[in-house]
């Protein structure tokens, strides 16, 4: 009886082992195949997600919308061409640079300082520009762009170009080029989007007090409002969408967009800025200025 039971158990065990072996014979190659397939396709779809912002199906295929944001120095130059005067006290003090502890704020303020650097450089305030370049190097290293900004030659190149506004502008455009290449090669474009958001708000802030109902600076500011939708898309491309500070900042920028889009002067014109740029009333300008100042104050406020 006992031997029968033992034999049955032996048969059962043998059968069980065979079943396991059989399953593993299929299971292990299946895992290997899955790994192989994942390494074939996963990277590509990830790449597509970072480059394509919106996906809308069309009648005869599909349509996707994307954008390229300009350089902060180009925004500053647009204001300068419109007649914006230099006011030293308006820029973000370089002493604040060490006080931004949160990554999102470090990125935003890297953008703020990029505009301040450009603003000083195009107005031939070379000493101030040099100080901002040092700050940008420091901030850039903090946010993971050290290979772009840790170049010790940068300051030497800057000093070489001191007194030559054109050479300084060349250098600033060159830094942006290197920064873009680095972010693209390392799938970090979303960092650039946040940096740009800081640069944009600083540009508007620098111009906001200089404008009146129909001034050229005011018109330039309204033109630059066309960037806001894409700035918000840029925020949305950041992988850490659950980050509390990022959520808060997105709401602030959406607030500006809402205020702007609800203005009667904006509603009545075409969405095409090449056909017509909205001409804001004084009241509307003041409402926009108030919003811009509030958001900029929130971003540059140290110690968050």
- Applying CB under 8 A, the residues found at the interface with other proteins are 21, 24-25, 28-29, 31-33, 35-40, 43-44, 47-48, 51, 58, 60-71, 74-75, 77-78, 81, 166, 169-170, 173-174, 176-177, 180, 184-185, 220, 223-224, 226-227, 230, 270-275, 277
Q: Shortest approach of other proteins to residue 184 CB, angstroms?
A: 7
Nearer to other proteins, 48 or 240 (CB): 48
Q: Specify whether the CB–CB gap between 204 and 292 falls below 8 A.
A: yes
Q: d(Cα 223, Cα 46) in Å, to the nearest integer?
A: 33
**112 contacts 300 by C-beta, under 8 angstroms:** yes
Q: How far is the CB of 99 from other proteins (least distance, A)?
A: 31
From 239, 264, 254, select the one nearest 291 (Cα to Cα).
254
Structure tokens given for 44: 């590509």
Q: Which is nearer to other proteins, 49 or 159 (CB)?
A: 49
Distance CA 88, CA 253 (A): 26
Nearest to other proteins of 137, 230 (CB atom): 230
Task: Give me the least distance between CB of 34 and other proteins, in Å please.
Answer: 9
Residue 55 main-chain phi, psi, to 5 deg: -130, 115
| Least distance in angstroms from the C-beta of 220 to other proteins | 7
The CB-of-89 to other proteins minimum distance in angstroms stands at 26
End-to-end CA distance of the chain: 79
Closer residue to other proteins, CB minimum distance, 233 or 245:
233
* Residue 178 C-beta: closest distance to other proteins, Å: 9
Q: Is the separation of the CB atoms in 258 and 218 below 8 Å?
A: no
Axis-axis angle for helices 126-142, 103-122 (nearest 10):
160
Q: Rounded to an integer, what distance in angstroms lies between the CA atom of residue 229 and that of residue 220?
A: 17
CB of 166 to other proteins, least distance (A): 6
Compare residues 76 and 246 and give the one whose CB is closer to other proteins.
76
Please state, in angstroms and rounded to a whole number, the distance separating the CA atoms of residues 244 and 256: 19
In total, the chain counts a number of residues equal to 304
Q: Which is nearer to other proteins, 76 or 292 (CB)?
A: 76
CA distance 285 to 9: 88
Measured from the CB atom, the residue of 76 and 256 that comes closer to other proteins is 76
């Amino acid at each position: 009886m006992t031997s029968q039971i033992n034999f049955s158990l032996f048969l059962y065990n043998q059968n069980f082992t065979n079943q396991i072996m059989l399953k593993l014979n299929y299971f292990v190659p299946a895992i290997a195949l899955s790994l192989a397939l994942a390494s074939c396709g996963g990277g590509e779809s990830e790449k597509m997600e970072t480059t394509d912002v919106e996906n809308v199906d069309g009648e005869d295929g599909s349509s996707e919308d994307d954008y390229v944001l300009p350089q902060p120095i180009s925004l500053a130059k647009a204001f300068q061409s419109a007649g914006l005067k230099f006011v030293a006290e308006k820029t973000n003090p370089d002493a604040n640079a060490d006080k931004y502890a949160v990554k999102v704020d470090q990125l935003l303020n890297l953008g703020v300082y990029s505009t301040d650097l450009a603003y000083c450089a195009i107005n031939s305030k070379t000493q101030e520009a040099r100080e901002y370049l040092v700050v940008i190097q420091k901030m850039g290293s903090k946010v993971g762009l050290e290979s772009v900004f840790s170049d010790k030659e940068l300051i030497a190149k800057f000093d070489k170009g001191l007194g030559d506004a054109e050479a300084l502008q060349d250098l600033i455009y060159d830094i942006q080029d290197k920064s873009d290449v680095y972010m693209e090669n390392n799938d970090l474009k979303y960092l650039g989007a946040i940096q740009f958001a800081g640069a944009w708000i600083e540009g508007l802030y620098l111009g906001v007090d200089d404008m009146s109902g129909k001034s050229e600076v005011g018109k330039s500011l309204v033109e630059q409002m066309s960037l806001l939708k894409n700035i918000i898309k840029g925020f949305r491309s950041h992988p850490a969408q659950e980050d509390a500070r990022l959520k808060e900042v997105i709401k602030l920028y959406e607030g500006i967009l809402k205020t702007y889009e609800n203005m009667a002067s904006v509603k009545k014109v075409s969405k095409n800025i090449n056909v017509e740029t909205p001409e804001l009333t004084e009241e509307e300008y003041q409402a926009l200025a108030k919003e811009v100042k509030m958001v900029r104050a929130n971003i540059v406020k140290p110690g968050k």
